[in-house]
Amino acid sequence: MDAAQNPAPATRPYLERFLGLFLFTGRAQRSDLVLLWLIGIVLSLPIPLLHFAGLYVVLPNAVSMIINGVVGYLWATFLVRRLHDQGRSARWALALYGLAGLIILGVAAQPQQQYGTSFRFLLWTFHPVGSVTTTLLSVAYIACIGAMLVISLIPPQDGPNRYGPDPRTG
C-alpha cells in the first residue's frame, strides 16, 4: 500500500482525532476544546497577514465569512459530541445555536443611524440607535456563548452510552 493511503501507525490516532472534529456523531473529550481553540487561532492568523499585505481591503468579508463558517461548524460539531458524551440529545445545541441566531437577527433589526458606534457582521455594518435594546441582546448573546462553554466543560457520563463508547477508555 501507498504511504499516503495508509498512514504510519503512530500518526493514525492523531489523524483520526483531527478528522473526528468534523463529525456530529460519537463522543468528544473536554481536551478537544483546547484543540478547537488552537485551530481557531491558526485559522485567524491569515487576517493580520492579509491586512499587512494590503489584500484585506479587497477581501475582508469573504475571508472573515469563510473563517467564521469553519470555526462555527467545528464548534457546532464539538458541542453536539460533548452533549453526546454527557448522554444528552443534540437538540440542546440546536436550541442554543437557534437562539444565538435569533439574537443576531434582533440586533440587525434595530434602527440604524448613519454615524456613531458601529460593528460589522458578515456583509453588514450596523449603526444601532437603540443602545438599551442592543445592550440587552448583547448580554443574551454572551449568555448563550457562556451556556455553550459550560456545556462543553460538564463532566461526561461514565462508560458507554447510546452515542458510543467512553472516549477516555479507548
What is the tens place of the pLDDT at every residue in 13-70?
777 778 888 888 888 888 888 888 888 888 878 777 777 776 656 556 677 778 878 8
- Burial label, 99 (beta-carbon count in 10 A; 0-12, 13-18, 19+): middle
pLDDT at 6: 63
pTM here? 0.69
pLDDT at 4: 56
Residue type, 18: F
From the list 82, 94, 75, the residue with the least C-alpha distance to 36 is: 75
Q: Using CA atoms, how far apart are residues 33 and 45, in angstroms rounded to an integer?
A: 19
Question: 132 pLDDT band (50/70/90 cuts)?
Answer: low
CA distance 59 to 64: 8
pLDDT of 53 reads 74
